[in-house]
Amino acid sequence: MQTASFTGFIETIFYILAFYYIFRFLAKLLLPLLVKKVVQKAGENFQQQQQRSQDTSWNQTQNKDEAIFNTGNSKKPRETKKVGDYVDYEEID
């Protein structure tokens, strides 16, 4: 059975403090680099998604083989739905 000693306690406190300060020092050095890498990777992913989105929308518009015929014989012109009137509001002070 071991007994606790004052020197062992001081040594443990010293190791804890040393680990804490070394961790803080390394975090100040390495965390900005890590954050920079993460932001850069997120930017690249965003650009790739935008590029894919643009490519697919462009391909969809190019691949449409749709013909619209305007016939003069149509008896009923299309009616547009009237949802409501636009009301312009003014603020009263």
The token pair that represents 15 in the structure block = 């190791």
Distance of CA 40 to the CA centre of its chain: 12
The pLDDT-based confidence of 79 (bands split at 50, 70, 90) is low
Whether the model clears a pTM of 0.85, i.e. scores above it, the answer is no
Average the pLDDT over 29-49 and give the result.
Answer: 94
**What is the reported pLDDT for 52?**
87
CA distance 34 to 27: 10
